Chain A
């Protein structure tokens, strides 16, 4: 007996997994650094290229490549933030937003100048598991992507709920001023946020390099979906961002199955449509966080 929607659900989980790790980082930066980072997609692209280089030229296995991309993207993203955003931290949301748009453009075109516009595939052996009775199939690649994402979310959860830095991060997102007069070193917290956000972006980049390709705009292509998922989940809430990503992923997969092809061919149109509906109906998102004025 074929299960209706089983295949769409799997596609949706895969799409959601691509989005989730990027969305967590984006929302952490939004909640703790109080900025909308339009260069977040480029941190993903850095991870994609590092993963590609590690596998193709370094000859390492995929899990090792993930770890390398995590570390390189984390340190690179942190360093970029320290050089560009941190010195103007008190300037307010709009200058930071403009800086991030400019920075994203520079990074994207910089990578295009170095790597060229080619799409580089990371070669991996793919096994397909068919469940014809139930009416769906799943590839080893898809399982890998969903598994890595769920593992990363679990690690993040343990970090945010069990460690002093993690709890301090949530406290700072709740109330930065109270965090300051509780003795929390908010600059150290921002450093930790940039490391975590860029590191997760790096992992997302490798997953995209494996299933699609490493190219200079692979991360930027995800940005709209990431922003939609973060707002859908309640901007600033990492758990909301995960929920928002999977909801968006499944929403896109199901709409692809049921809506006319010429509408869904523009999957960014779907993301925009969902974003508009969410903003109108529930601006606080799933986590119903306060909508910030900044």
Chain B
């Protein structure tokens, strides 16, 4: 059964429509990547799912229930974990306080959740008392994921987790995402870095101009000559 089911979604910002009838379905435990050129509306899909975009039509169902009209905070309460692309930490708060905010809906930060998350992101362990704004870009991305994982959400939505990171850090971040998925968390990512994302994910969606273009298993999309030519800069199959 689909854990997250987006049907015929029209969405945008204010009067500006960005998405035109987008479909997305994500099964429990899956790792799904949404790729596509700049301005295709990738991030808008994610913002619409968490309730930050203007809804214009269609339906969003999570765990069998229609969440289309709900406030962002209620959707998070239902079990959506969301990490925005930029400004995804609280810079003047310490690392530990950032994690505490992750536990807001739990009424506090349970020790076992903090331990579990710090174990996943050991780089945070010795930095708990540091101001989050003083962390490096890669560390901030880890903290942002850690914060979203505190309530143990069934789904983690990541908006461009590798944006602005040095190439070696990109792999580290993707390794962490794999690990999160291996622990049973359903993962949806939006990525500019299409090749890496499609190589890592189970299934991918290619979005252009606010519409679904292709959808298939990640490897199949990577090897699809049309997709390669149009969206991956052509050349030989990266897996072949």
Contacts and interface: CB of A to CB of B under 8 A. Distances in A.
A121 to B, nearest CB: 42
B52 A164 contact: no
Contacts of B232: none
A88 B238 CA distance: 55
A157 interface: no
Contacts of B105: 183
B151 A183 contact: yes
A71 to B, nearest CB: 25
Interface residues of A, number: 18
A181 B76 contact: yes
Contacts of A167: 93, 97, 100-101
A183 B152 CA distance: 13
A263 interface: no
A186 B72 CA distance: 11
Interface string A161-195: 00010011011011101111111111000000000
A184 B93 contact: no
Contacts of A170: 90, 92-93, 97
B50 to A, nearest CB: 6
Interface string B18-57: 0000000000000000000000000000000010100000
Nearest to B77: A183
Interface in B96-151: 97-98, 100-102, 104-105, 107-108, 147-148, 151
A157 to B, nearest CB: 14
Nearest to B78: A183
B58 interface: no
The interface centre, meaning the residue of A170, A178, A182 with most chain B CB atoms within 10 A of its CB, is: A182
B104 A174 contact: no
Interface stretch (B81-89, B161-169, B223-231): B81-89
A251 to B, nearest CB: 26
Interface string A184-221: 11100000000000000000000000000000000000
B101 A181 contact: no
A164 B90 contact: no
Contacts of B50: 181
Contacts of A179: 90, 101
| Top 10 A-B residue pairs of the complex, sorted by shortest distance between their CB atoms | A183-B105, A183-B76, A174-B90, A171-B90, A171-B101, A181-B82, A180-B72, A183-B104, A182-B101, A167-B97
Interface of B: 50, 52, 72-73, 76-77, 82, 84, 87-93, 97-98, 100-102, 104-105, 107-108, 147-148, 151
